[in-house]
Amino acid sequence: MRILAYEFFSGGGLAGRDVPASLAAEGAAMRDALVADLAAVSGLEVVTTADSRFPVDAPGGVEVVMLPDNGAPRLDSLIASAGAAWVVAPETGGCLESVTARVERLGTQLVGPGSAAVRRAADKAGLARRLAGHGLAVPETRVLGPRSAWARWEAAAGSIGFPVVVKPRRGAGCEGVSLARGAGELRSAAAAARRASPGESLLIQEFVPGAAASVSLLVAGRQSAPLAVNAQTVTTDGTFRYRGGSTPLEHPLAERAVDAARRASAAIGGLRGYVGVDLVLAASAAVVIEVNPRLTTAYLGVRSALDVNVAAMAMAANDGRLPPVEPVRGQVHFTSEGRISIASAVADRQP
């Protein structure tokens, strides 16, 4: 079967336009890891796309297509000629939803959630309400329209209590996400979120102190299997920045994180394949922050920690078959740019 692996930032989604260096590096690392894993699956003919500024490190036999400026018609042709397409794109501005909808319109099988499930997961305001309705711990959240009066901002932040987190309603990673410890910082945080996602509604959320973590899941409908619980390295000088992390995470609330991630996935419905769930492990609760209906940067660490082909496992889950998860083979540290180091052996166990 011919399969297209398309990563937005490094794969030509912004060909001819400025691409933040950090996003290009992160995207290229995910793309190259995914392509390598797909190329190792028997019976797959792999094609991927590239922006000429971000060359692909691909195994022999992988077809690499450079997408030009205005490359939408070429991408559509590649999608239509493939038996399956695996899309990695940001939720910002509805990008991931839009590309998955294109794949659906062209009649090609998606490896990953369809556009309706992406929409439910990507809307962080709707997600918080949905998950709270299913009994999951989530940050207290207020929604502000793109033209909301400043008095409404002050009232929303005051009702939650400083410090608060300001973010786009639909976004990816830490793009446009800031911490505001008072009214002065609230203005700059709102401005940063607006720049990251022009015209979108914004969120003010309760700041939850604790350990930043994620759970990498294989999902087949309402069933799921955890691959790993991962530590996240997130720095802030007011603006949050994701730097990578390590896997597996040893933490007293790791099992609660897995339970919360699986329940969150089931609550959204329609998810399949590889899914990442971001949480904060607080004093006594695993608080769900976001659900990422796509490949995440933690994939870089998870595939190195498990002695299996994670892409092949995700494809099986996508087809409704949850494969057994192998025990981790080492403590792996990874950066958002794709640098990997295996620190130590870890005792065999299921996550």
Statement: residue 302 has pLDDT above 80: yes
- 230: confidence class by pLDDT, cuts 50, 70, 90: very high
Mean pLDDT is lowest, of 61-70, 263-272, 325-334, for 325-334
* In-domain check, residue 251: yes
- 344: confidence class by pLDDT, cuts 50, 70, 90: low
* In-domain check, residue 82: yes
Q: What is the CATH number of the domain that holds 45?
A: 3.40.50.11770
Q: What is the CATH number of the domain that holds 250?
A: 3.30.470.20
Residue 320 CB-density burial (10 A; 0-12 exposed, 13-18 middle, 19+ buried): exposed
Mean pLDDT across 86-95: 92
User: Last residue of a domain, which of 174, 206, 238?
Assistant: 206
Question: Do 306 and 186 fall into the same domain?
Answer: no
Residue 283 is encoded by which pair of tokens? 């004093």
User: Last residue of a domain, which of 206, 232, 257?
Assistant: 206
Question: Do 272 and 156 fall into the same domain?
Answer: no
Question: Do 245 and 322 fall into the same domain?
Answer: yes
Q: What is the CATH number of the domain that holds 192?
A: 3.30.1490.20
Residue 350 has a pLDDT of: 37
pTM of the predicted protein model: 0.93
- Distances in Å between the Cα of 117 and the Cα atoms of 31, 56, 112, 121 are 22, 30, 10, 6
Question: Do 105 and 151 fall into the same domain?
Answer: no
The span from the first CA to the last CA of the chain, in angstroms, equals 32
* In-domain check, residue 134: no
pLDDT digits (tens, 9 = 90+) for 153-197: 999 999 999 999 999 888 777 788 999 999 889 999 998 888 888
Residue 71 has a pLDDT of: 84
Residue 351 has a pLDDT of: 35
Domain containing residue 261: 211-344
Residue 18 is encoded by which pair of tokens? 């400025």
156-159, Cβ contacts within 8 angstroms, sequence gap of 24 or more: 156/204, 157/183, 157/186, 157/204
User: Last residue of a domain, which of 158, 175, 206?
Assistant: 206
* In-domain check, residue 224: yes
Domain total for the chain?
Answer: 3
Question: Do 339 and 229 fall into the same domain?
Answer: yes
* In-domain check, residue 133: no
Integer Cα distance of 349 and 329 in angstroms: 9
* In-domain check, residue 160: yes
Integer Cα distance of 62 and 248 in angstroms: 31
- Distances in Å between the Cα of 106 and the Cα atoms of 77, 98, 100, 140 are 9, 13, 10, 40
Statement: residue 346 has pLDDT above 80: no
pLDDT digits (tens, 9 = 90+) for 101-121: 999 999 999 999 999 999 999
Mean pLDDT across 300-308: 92
Question: Do 283 and 158 fall into the same domain?
Answer: no
Residue 345 has a pLDDT of: 56
Question: Do 6 and 66 fall into the same domain?
Answer: yes
